[in-house]
Amino acid sequence: MPPRTRTKAQVIALALALTLTLPVAIDGDTIQSRDSFVRLVQINTPEKGECYYKEATTYTSKFLKTKSKLVLTKDKNLDSFDEYGRALGYLTNGNRNLNLELVKYGYAKPYFYKGMRGKYANLIEKYARQAKANRLGLWKCNDRSAQWNRKSS
């Protein structure tokens, strides 16, 4: 996906928080809404063809179908956009945080891009240790070549 050019006003608005309109899960950690593409930060889910891809994508799809307002919140310790122009952040629905839930239930692993740690990094690591210990979700897969396995922190 090619990078998009944004105005300064758009960058400022998106950098703080973004309400998603008509969101669709591309995979477990990437979402397309009417206005933008979104990448969930600090986590990585399996890619298409990898073990647990379908389950992670389904979980994200169900989260997006909530009746509550979906808000993408930027982490002040991390970049606001990636090299593809996707807005980066934590997706919440009331008191639920999709990034955290994906790790907690074994749909995602921690992923700290360039070693950068956001405000939930310690909790993400804790949930990953618990999911791994309980062999939840992708932690029961043996796919050592999977991209999510190579990107672990």
Q: DSSP secondary-structure letter at 69?
A: P
Instruction: Give the model's pLDDT for residue 115.
Output: 95
Give the mean pLDDT of 131-137.
97
Kindly tell me if the per-residue pLDDT of 127 is higher than 60. Answer: yes
pLDDT category of residue 66 using cuts at 50, 70 and 90: confident
Query: Are the CB atoms for 103 and 131 separated by under 8 Å?
Result: yes
Q: Which CATH number fits domain 8-146: 1.10.645.10, 2.40.50.90, 2.130.10.10, 3.40.50.300?
A: 2.40.50.90
**Taking the model in full, what pTM does it have?**
0.84
Taking 50 as the threshold, does the pLDDT of residue 143 lie above it? yes
* The residue type at 3: P
Model pLDDT for residues 89-101, shown as the tens digit of each residue = 999 998 999 999 9
Which of 85-94, 116-125, 129-138 has the weakest average pLDDT? 85-94
User: CB neighbours (10 Å) of residue 125?
Assistant: 16
pLDDT at site 22: 77
Sorting pLDDT into bands at 50, 70 and 90, what band is 11?
low
Q: Which pLDDT tens digit goes with each residue over 17-51?
A: 667 777 899 999 999 988 789 999 999 999 999 99
Least confident of 9-23, 26-40, 52-66, 77-91: 9-23
∠ CA 46-149-43, nearest 5°, is 60
Per-domain residue ranges of the chain: 8-146
- Enumerate helices (H) and strands (E) in the chain, giving the number of each: 5, 9
Percent of the chain residues topping a pLDDT of 90: 69
